[in-house]
Structure 1
Amino acid sequence: MRLDEYAECIDDKWKDSFYKTWQSVKSHLPDGFISDFQHGMPGFSVPLSTYPQGYHVGGTPLPFIGIAVQKKHLAVYHMGMYRDDALYEWFTEEYPKYMETKLNMGKSCIRFTNPKKIPYELLGELAGKMTVQEWIELYESSRLYE
């Protein structure tokens, strides 16, 4: 699936916010990540050419960030934040500096329920905080299986 095909399937009220989020993340990502589709959503991953072991049992690029429009929100999944407590803490401390609304997130999923209230600058900064190599090292250090 291509990005424009994905966008055709989302509610019109979310399209502009989806594209702005995508561009904010993409423009700040360090070199080496690729755009792809995993788990039904577009995102950015470490290519198999860089990390041949791939995700879990191999054969799939190691996911890093996913961006999805779901029923009632836009979601940004940041796998690095899931594994890095310091990055998670940084984001939760920075969020109120950009937004007046309460942060709605799980360990890796940041949810936005209003398409007009998305901190694009903050999401871009978050995307640029971890290199491909740092993500691979963090992923490998926290793997519970071999």
Structure 2
Amino acid sequence: MQYEAATPDEYMNMIPEERKAPMAKLRSVILKNLPKGFEEGMNYKMIGYYVPHSKYPDGYHCDPKLPLPFMNIASQKNFVAVYHMGMYAKKELYDWFVSEYPKHCKYKLDMGKSCIRFKRIDDIPYELIGELTGKMSVKEWIDIYELNVKR
């Protein structure tokens, strides 16, 4: 589902009632663990965490007017999603997450390249998402991004 929200708070007010508490907790965990230099805002009609233009003026190569995306969270039709571009770009981080996930969650991992889907919102591994959030600095993300985009 896409919401026409201008701010993360507005987004939170628009999502279904049963998703508000889990999304608020997810947002709180991410903000608590988000490395210095990333910012929260709206990105691709989701709550986004990104490198602002003040730190990376080039912006996102697909649309330089947008800041460089890093993570997003969203309340989709049938699940809550966490998107982490660092896992898509750094295999070691992806491998770490996949190996850690069963230690935190009793259900099978439902994941695409950078999208983690939680269909059971009562079983979101908040601690693991917090740890994942803090594993990559702004500098490391920019370096990985530039290495992969400027080939």
Structure 2 length-normalised TM: 0.93
1:32 equivalenced with 2:37 (yes/no):
yes
Partner of 1:21: 26
Q: What CA deviation, in whole Å up to 9, does each residue of 1:65-122 have, x standing for no partner?
A: 0000000100000011110000000000000000110000001000001111100000
Secondary structure at the residue paired with 2:135? coil
Structure 1 length-normalised TM: 0.96
Picking from 106, 115, 118, the partner of 1:112 is 118
> Which runs of 5 or more structure 2 residues have no equivalent in the other structure?
1-5
Give the letter aligned to residue 89 of structure 1: D
Aligned-pair CA distance for 1:4 = 2.0
Distance 1:91 1:45 in 2: 20
1:96 equivalenced with 2:112 (yes/no):
no
Distance 2:143 2:67 in 1: 15
Partner of 1:4: 9
RMSD of aligned Cα (Å): 1.0
Distance 1:58 1:68 in 2: 23
Partner of 1:55: 60
Give the letter aligned to residue 118 of structure 1: I
Give the letter aligned to residue 49 of structure 2: F
Partner of 1:68: 74
Distance 2:109 2:51 in 1: 28
Give the letter aligned to residue 98 of structure 2: T
> Which runs of 5 or more structure 1 residues have no equivalent in the other structure?
none
Q: How many residues are aligned here?
A: 145
Q: Give runs of ≥4 in structure 1 deviating > 3 Å.
A: none
1:77 equivalenced with 2:88 (yes/no):
no
Partner of 2:132: 126
Secondary structure at the residue paired with 2:149? coil
Q: Taking every aligned residue pair, what percent have the same amino acid on both sides? A: 49
Partner of 2:3: none
